A and B are shown apart, each in its own frame.
Chain A
Amino acid sequence: MQEFFELARKLLAEQLDVEIDSILMETTFEALEADSIDIVEMIMGLEDIYHVEFPEEELEDFPTVGSLITALYQYLQEVGK
């Protein structure tokens, strides 16, 4: 999980041009000024790395980076990646 989180926040930090340390599990996307395009871009980046397609979720249901990453990680576990 930690490795997955590190990867996700690295992608997000590059996209948003922010310090990687400013992204924690409890950080909200709102605080990062990340919109749905930023979030989908991060998800697509993870999909490319893991060769998987995450299920379509309502992004509004995941206010924090941690809540989204946890849900994506759980899906990875389910599909055995």
Chain B
Amino acid sequence: MGGDHAPAEVVAGALAWAADNADNHLLLVGKQEVIEAEIASIKEAGGFACSPEQVVIVNANEVIGCDESPATALRRKKDASIVVASALVKEGKADAVISCGSTGAQMAAAIFILGRMEGIDRPPIIASLPGEGGHRTLLVDVGANVDCKPAQLLQFALLGSVYARSVLGIASPRIGLLNNGSEETKGNALAQQVYSLLKEQEDINFIGNVEGRDLFSPIADIVVCDGFTGNILLKALEGLGLFFASSIMKEIDKPPSILESFDYSRVGGAPLLGVNGVSIVCHGSSHREAVANGLRIAEECFRNGIVARQAEELAKCEL
């Protein structure tokens, strides 16, 4: 129940999703009295459209803030909503967890509660970028790991490749490394070390360095970067989309639909890869539409069996 606009927008978005998905159930994890008050307020305003049987409140009294050390806080706050929600997935009482709260806490919960797949140190977040002719480029990592080691970026590449093969059906996904030039010698020390590792890895189809301007061309299926770079890039794209939309709106009535692809609220959320459960990371600033779309992504990931498919494909890789 974290996020900049929680609990009001989170509860409203979740209930809206439940109303549109009558076959699904919703477990709202957080302070019971706060969630009850939000639901009462939505009912009063006539906005409660789902069946009451669809919604269960699971009490969790603590919150892990974005200013706390995630791993330490996770151990100290056993009644935090992300801990309780992740445990529900681990115990098979929920099919997925989504959160707009601390990404670090969600990643730590995924590591220590859901558990990592064999050979994975740190789960990355994968995001899909729009491109020419409907092509989509997957960017890994977009924010779970700000400081990365070369071996971890190699794992991100493998996980991205596994995801593209198993979930998107791309037989031999092309992997690029985000860099400031296309030549092998380009980049900082991390990029150069990762380049060497990717070049030697037999389980992936490494195509070399990819520059920022090529992200929207059908050059690569997956582009790998550290979470610090990926998160800045993603938010810059959001800002660019908003800027274009507001600028174009001054000249025409309706902005082109492509700009909606840069709107995080339409995307909703993105899965953490390499963990034994569906965990969807949503934008901290999510409003109700983003929350509802995050739940849609969670359902898609669960129904697509992304966890089992990743584990199956990963077992074939040399790590």
Chain B nearest CB: distance from A61 CB in Å?
10
* Complex: A40 Cα to B107 Cα, angstroms: 13
* Complex: A79 Cα to B74 Cα, angstroms: 23
B111 within 8 A of A: yes
- B71 contacts A37, CB within 8 Å? yes
- B151 contacts A37, CB within 8 Å? no
Chain B residue at smallest Cβ distance from A59: B72
Chain B nearest CB: distance from A17 CB in Å?
7
Q: How many residues of A contact B (CB 8 A)?
A: 14
Chain B residue at smallest Cβ distance from A44: B112
Contacts of A44 in B (CB 8 A): 112
B76 within 8 A of A: yes
Chain B nearest CB: distance from A24 CB in Å?
21
Chain B residue at smallest Cβ distance from A54: B75
- B111 contacts A37, CB within 8 Å? yes
- B71 contacts A36, CB within 8 Å? yes
Q: Mark A15-43, 1 if CB is under 8 A from B, else 0.
A: 00100000000000000010111011100
- A37 contacts B70, CB within 8 Å? yes
Q: Could you tell me which residues of chain B, from 134 to 190, have a CB within 8 Å of some CB in chain A?
A: 147, 149, 151
A48 within 8 A of B: no
Contacts of A78 in B (CB 8 A): none
- B74 contacts A40, CB within 8 Å? yes
- A40 contacts B76, CB within 8 Å? no
B122 within 8 A of A: yes
A60 within 8 A of B: yes
Contacts of B122 in A (CB 8 A): 37
| A36/B70 contact (C-beta < 8 A), A17-B151, A56-B75, A56-B76 known | yes
Contacts of A41 in B (CB 8 A): 111-112
Q: Which of A33, A36, A40, A58 contacts B149 (CB 8 A)?
A: A33
* Complex: A57 Cα to B278 Cα, angstroms: 30
Q: Mark B59-74, 1 if CB is under 8 A from A, else 0.
A: 0000000000111101
- A60 contacts B69, CB within 8 Å? yes
- A40 contacts B147, CB within 8 Å? no
Q: Mark A50-81, 1 if CB is under 8 A from B, else 0.
A: 00000011111000000000000000000000
Contacts of A57 in B (CB 8 A): 72
Contacts of A17 in B (CB 8 A): 151
* Complex: A80 Cα to B72 Cα, angstroms: 25
Contacts of A58 in B (CB 8 A): 69, 72
* Complex: A30 Cα to B78 Cα, angstroms: 27
Chain A nearest CB: distance from B274 CB in Å?
14
* Complex: A35 Cα to B72 Cα, angstroms: 11
| A56/B147 contact (C-beta < 8 A), A37-B111, A44-B112 known | no
Chain A nearest CB: distance from B155 CB in Å?
12
* Complex: A78 Cα to B299 Cα, angstroms: 48
- A56 contacts B149, CB within 8 Å? no
- B151 contacts A40, CB within 8 Å? no
The 7 tightest CB contacts between A and B, nearest first, are: A40-B71, A36-B71, A56-B76, A37-B71, A36-B69, A59-B72, A56-B75
CB pairs A–B below 8 angstroms (26 shown): A33-B147, A33-B149, A35-B71, A35-B147, A36-B69, A36-B70, A36-B71, A37-B70, A37-B108, A37-B111, A37-B122, A40-B71, A40-B72, A40-B74, A40-B108, A40-B112, A41-B111, A41-B112, A44-B112, A56-B72, A56-B75, A58-B69, A59-B69, A59-B71, A59-B72, A60-B69
